[in-house]
A = this chain, B = another copy of it.
Amino acid sequence: MTEVTVETSLLERFHAARAASIALATTTGLERSTALLAIADAIDARTDDIVDANGLDLANGRENGLSTALLDRLSLSPERVASLSASVREIAALPDPLGQTVRGSRLANGLKIDQVRVPFGVVGAIYEARPNVTVDIACLALASGNAGILRGGSAAERSNAVLVSIIRSALDSAGLPADAVQTIDDFGREGASALMQARGFVDVLVPRGSAGLIETVVSSSTVPVIETGAGIVHIVLDRSAREDWAVDIVHNAKVQRPSVCNSVETLLVHADAARRLLPPVLDRLAAAGVTVHGDEATRSIWPAALPASDDEWSTEHLSLDIGVRVVDGLDDAVAHIRRYSTGHTESIITEDLAAAERFLAEVDSAVVMVNASTRFTDGGEFGFGAEVGISTQKLHARGPMGLSELTSTKWIVRGNGQSRS
């Protein structure tokens, strides 16, 4: 295939997605949820095809020496396919974000102005070898009235191709344009580059995957990007922290699901409370199999800790490991967080009102907590229903993103002949 053919054909898909997005923008919520239910049914009905295609990807991955962890992410068993369709039905049941009036007023001259939610238009996604993201992003885009252009990892190419084909057929059968969901996996890296430069065709780009992937997309894209970043998440045990809350919350934040971005990575303990709190908190962690990487002060109190390495405080373990540091006080804790946090989530355990309010005011992260587990930073827990991701940037969306974060707004102005004087 020559380069010219590839580019023309990519451009055709971009055009088709743009055209489909215009049709989608004026659909009703009922039309979109009906289409999503049709997609869920089609995924169930074609479970065997999906598992077969995935089997080819898995065999290929084994040949290419993919790690066991990557092969696990890539794998779609019949049970995983069933949970995919279940999540599509959950998305279908969410309230329609479109048409909501965000702000509105009547001006002195009689003009009625209303800011209402509308779709972005076309949402692009660049992600790695997790075929579930294909279904997830496509259906979140559709639920919010957007067309989606998907570029998944090459290791999942066959699985993604079948899933996209199922989604497109179901859209067509439900009377919505099939072109609202496009894959460009067959264009390889060239497709990803074109997608990142597709200003005018693509309104927003959502990268999903490793820090390296997100960094590449942010640096290379001229399309605006919604960045979902890493979580170097901190818990601070203040001087006045209740021991039972400290023990339970730190255990929950580290152990309940260590592989996700809202799990705690660093524990900062007020020097005045270190002797009281570190033994029970760290004993509980150790009993759950957590490896503690402590600074000198921590190790003098709790000698089983390994010495923290130089890069401990900037490491996102995503495993049963935690860094522990004794700090001189709240100023020291906040300074540490400013230096090392990725701006995801930080929590303080305290009984001191002034300390709580200072922490909430001075720590600049997407989510700042008092006396709660960092694991609550989650779209589902926040009541948004869907999990679009956790934004760690400050533009447009910050923190857990629901369907409304996949929308823009426009202003509707209704007059009766007004001119400006």
List A residues at the B interface (Cβ < 8 Å).
22, 25-26, 105, 107, 111, 113, 115, 118, 120-121, 199, 203-204, 218-219, 222, 224-226, 242, 244-245, 248-249, 251-253, 256, 338, 347, 356, 360-362, 364-373, 375-377, 381-383, 393-396, 398-400, 408-420
Name A99's closest neighbour in chain B (CB-CB): B361
Name A250's closest neighbour in chain B (CB-CB): B419
Complexed CA–CA distance, A243 and B121 (Å): 35
Which chain B residues border A245 with CB–CB below 8 Å? 416-417
Contact assessment for A249 and B410 in the assembled complex, using a CB-CB cutoff below 8 Å: no
Q: Shortest beta-carbon distance, A143 to chain B, in Å?
A: 17
Name A205's closest neighbour in chain B (CB-CB): B395
Which chain B residues border A373 with CB–CB below 8 Å? 415, 418-420
Contact assessment for B395 and A410 in the assembled complex, using a CB-CB cutoff below 8 Å: no
Name A408's closest neighbour in chain B (CB-CB): B394
7 tightest A-B contacts by CB?
A372-B415, A252-B419, A394-B408, A396-B396, A375-B420, A369-B413, A245-B417
> Could you jot down 22 A-B contacts, CB within 8 Å?
A25-B361, A25-B364, A105-B383, A111-B372, A120-B395, A121-B394, A218-B222, A249-B418, A249-B419, A253-B419, A347-B413, A366-B410, A371-B415, A371-B417, A372-B414, A373-B415, A373-B419, A375-B419, A376-B413, A381-B420, A396-B396, A399-B409
Name A116's closest neighbour in chain B (CB-CB): B360
Contact assessment for A120 and B369 in the assembled complex, using a CB-CB cutoff below 8 Å: no
Select one of B120, B225, B376 contacting A420, CB under 8 A.
B376
Q: A26-B361, A121-B394, A420-B256 are in contact. Are A368 and B412 (CB under 8 A)?
A: yes
Contact assessment for A242 and B417 in the assembled complex, using a CB-CB cutoff below 8 Å: yes
Select one of B105, B360, B383, B393 contacting A224, CB under 8 A.
B393
Name A199's closest neighbour in chain B (CB-CB): B218
Complexed CA–CA distance, A395 and B396 (Å): 6
Q: Shortest beta-carbon distance, A245 to chain B, in Å?
A: 4
Contact assessment for B418 and A376 in the assembled complex, using a CB-CB cutoff below 8 Å: yes
